[in-house]
Chains A and B, each alone.
Chain A
Amino acid sequence: MRIVTRALIVVGSVLAAAAVQAHHAFATEFDAGKPVALRGKVTKVELINPHSWIHIEVVGEDGTATVWMIEGGSPNALVRRGITRDSIPVGAELIVNGYQARDGTNRAVGRDLLFADGRPLFFEGTRVSE
């Protein structure tokens, strides 16, 4: 039973419940009381460890542009599924729902990352099969 990770074979989530073993406690870095909903164009993509960071430029109602850093996960499993540095083009518009950094700076953990048309980032649609 060779596991071919190019195909996206995902199995039952009931098993050996993979507890979220976070690199760190996100609640110490981000504030559950500061939810954010952001929309902006990608300026930089850091698919890095221990966490990816996607930079988006958010234009406020008054026209001023602010760059937000959005925290995500390790990219190592994405690499196994064929994701490359070109998978999120610079200039692509993203929608981010998440929580802002505790220190009030323009950083957030991205609870949900979507393209402007509502598709989740990295994978087309919600069903993944061979």
Chain B
Amino acid sequence: MKHSMTRLHRSSIAGAVACVLAAAATLPAAAQTSPTGPLTAWGDPDIAGVYALYTTAPLERPEQFGEREFLTDDEFAEIERRRLEPREFNFESDTEPGTAGDVHYNLDQFALGANEGVNSPNRRTSIVTMPANGRIPAALPQAAARREAATARTRGRQFDGPEFRSLTERCIVWSQTLPPLLPGGYNSNLQIFQSPGYVLIQGEMGDPRVIPTDGRALPENLLPQWNGTSVGHWEGDTLVVETAGFRPENAWRGSSDQLRVTERFTRVDEDTIEYAFTVVDPETWAEPWGGVFPITEMDSVLFEYACTEGNYGMANILSGERAREREAAAGQ
């Protein structure tokens, strides 16, 4: 049922037009294609849901695969066998007591281990598919120079106060929730919520991106934001999102504030979205790179992730360092 036409939304008009044209003669291949999959009530492709980002393929292609993008049937069968093997929660500590590695809560205890038991099956040898070797290109020299300058600015001051600690410790931003979305350690889940003219995308531990889908261009003079600024449009069944205007402090994978990310979300079956992305940053990589992987719908909702509100950890880290300094001073 169509959204009432009391409000002019380009997407709802496009949806209406698309439905009309689909019933008419076929369009030339080069023209904008009509969506073929399930639609929302107002005629946009339906990609809404809660999705897990975990997948069996690693981010970068292991060297033994060379330029081979896909697994053989035998290789895939083995990966699938291991993916589907039931696993018990492991409450026995398998790290060495008294070592830094043992100083951690048990992920399984909080059901955060093993990707919450959700791994999208994946016939590819890696997430990265561009360049052809499936590996992220080497960074340009200026990226290393930026990193060294940033390190030099804060050398010896990382525990003075909160300002020079990591963005995750400061509860500012988790890089795994920024575009492009890549699987991370835990809570690597995503919500996509649609309403006429907008798509909201929010990583479980991240901020909401409210993305207009009317095809507007990214403004030239973007106010830098931690999450950048996103605009979107529909191409057939695919939501295409362009994001730029990141704050330089993000330095996602060493990138600069020139980072631009293109994402493509396409529903491929009733439980799966294909997520593809391209990364461009002429100040960090000589060539664009990108990849693709499936994300699988979870029958769930994402619970609130209020980070700074519960950030006892920052206070504890700083007070721990103050105690260590006092001990060191007393010992001398």
A interface residue numbers (CB < 8 A to B): 1-6, 8-16, 18-24, 26-33, 35, 46, 48-53, 69, 71-81, 98-99, 101-105, 107, 109-113, 120-123, 126-129
Interface centre among B55, B83, B115, by most chain A C-beta atoms within 10 angstroms, is: B115
Q: Mark B89-125, 1 if CB is under 8 A from A, else 0.
A: 1110100011110111111011111111111010000
Select from chain A the residue with minimum beta-carbon distance to B168. A23
- Checking A1, A12, A31, A98 against B87 with a beta-carbon cut-off of 8 angstroms, the contacting residue is A12
Question: Which residues of chain A are near B311, meaning CB under 8 Å?
Answer: 50
Please tell me if the beta carbons of A49 and B306 are within 8 angstroms of each other in the complex: yes
Other-chain contact of A81, B105, B111, B314, B319 (Cβ < 8 Å): B111
Complex CA distance for A120 and B113, rounded to whole angstroms? 15
A121 near B86: Cβ-Cβ < 8 Å: no
Q: Which residues of A contact B113 (CB under 8 A)?
A: 13, 18
CB distance from B122 to the nearest CB of A (A): 9
Q: How far is the CA of A4 from the CA of B50 in the complex (A)?
A: 11
Number of contacting residues on B, CB 8 A?
A: 81
Binds A, one of B15-23, B144-152, B321-329: B321-329
Known: A3-B298, A18-B115. A24 touches B88 (CB 8 A): no
CB pair A11 B105 closer than 8 Å: no
Residues of B within 8 A of A16 (CB): 54-58, 115, 119, 183
Does more than half of chain B's interface fall in helix, strand or loop, or is it mixed?
loop
The reply to whether B166 and A126 form a contact with Cβ atoms under 8 Å apart is: no
> Could you say which residues of chain A place their CB within 8 Å of the CB of B186?
18, 21, 73-74, 77
Per the bound structure, the CA–CA distance linking A30 and B300 in Å amounts to 34
B79 at the interface (CB under 8 A from A): yes
13 interchain pairs, CB-CB under 8 A: A3-B298, A16-B115, A24-B314, A28-B320, A50-B171, A50-B205, A50-B313, A79-B303, A102-B323, A103-B319, A111-B105, A123-B109, A126-B88
- State the B residues within 8 Å of A (CB): 52, 54-58, 79, 82-91, 93, 97-100, 102-107, 109-119, 121, 165-166, 168-169, 171, 176, 183-187, 204-205, 270-272, 296-300, 302-307, 309-314, 316-317, 319-324
Tell me whether A101 and B316 are in contact (CB under 8 A): yes
In the bound assembly, the distance between CA atoms of A9 and B107 in angstroms comes to 15
Partner of B79, one of A15, A48, A77: A15
Instruction: For A9, give its contact among B117, B270, B271 (CB under 8 Å).
Output: B117
Contact of A78 with B83 at beta-carbon distance under 8 Å, contacts A18-B115, A23-B313, A71-B105 already known: no
Report the minimal beta-carbon distance from A12 to chain B, rounded to whole angstroms.
Answer: 4
How many Å from the CB of A34 to the closest CB on chain B?
10
